[in-house]
Amino acid sequence: MSQLVASMRPVDAIQLTIPNCRSSLAPVDLVRTFEMNSVARLMPIADAIVALIGSELLRSPEALAILAPGRAPLTFRALVRQIDAAILSLADGGFGRGDRVALALPNGPEMAMALLAVTGCATCVPLNPVLDEALYLVALRMLRFDVLVGREGEDAPAVRAAQSLM
């Protein structure tokens, strides 16, 4: 089993369970994408989200982007750095446009950041965090995912289901 661990501090690290590696395109540069969209006036949904984040980054990089009880707030500057790090980690693992990235994270800041990162570079498939192993197995078989993203070092039902498919 191949594994890739991506450090996403201050948001917890994630573990990427990789059943089969494929090639990927270069990661997305949020500021460059925002500037290109303002010139080209292209606005697919994922690009619209990237444009909003890029716009806020340019306007006020120290503004708070993600808040969660009991956690340090994340600024737009830090959010963009985390998104870039996650995209680079996926690209280093051979994942990018056209790949299906399943997210098995609890609801919270980790899931929010992972959603933003994955939608910027691949097809994002968020999974319900309350499923048991049998239901994850059914879902993962049907989705034909390329990589599963979960919390690092956690023996979660989604990770066990993904490992049984390898």
Question: Strand 100-104 to strand 147-151: parallel, antiparallel, or no bridges (unpaired)?
Answer: parallel
Whether the CB-CB separation of 15 and 147 falls below 8 Å is answered with no
**pLDDT score at 134:** 94
**pLDDT score at 12:** 34
- Its domain, for residue 62, covers 2-164
pLDDT digits (tens, 9 = 90+) for 132-148: 999 999 998 898 888 88
**pLDDT score at 127:** 92
Nearest partner of 32 among 80, 78, 94, 85, judged by Cα: 80
**pLDDT score at 43:** 45
pLDDT: which is higher, 157 or 49:
157
Nearest partner of 117 among 146, 140, 139, 95, judged by Cα: 95
Nearest partner of 129 among 163, 154, 156, 97, judged by Cα: 156
- For the cut 80, the answer to whether the pLDDT of residue 7 exceeds it is no
Residue with tokens 């989705």: 143
pLDDT digits (tens, 9 = 90+) for 10-33: 333 344 444 433 333 333 444 554
pLDDT digits (tens, 9 = 90+) for 77-94: 999 888 888 888 888 888
**pLDDT score at 46:** 59
Range in 16-30, 37-51, 108-122, 149-163 the model is least confident about: 16-30
pLDDT digits (tens, 9 = 90+) for 93-132: 888 888 999 999 888 888 988 998 898 888 899 998 889 9
Nearest partner of 150 among 16, 9, 21, judged by Cα: 16
For the chain, the farthest-separated pair of C-alpha atoms sits apart, in whole angstroms, at 48
**Quick one: what percent of the chain has pLDDT higher than 90?**
16
Structure tokens at 118: 């994955």
**pLDDT score at 45:** 56
CATH label of the domain that carries residue 50:
3.40.50.12780
Provide the domain count of the chain: 1
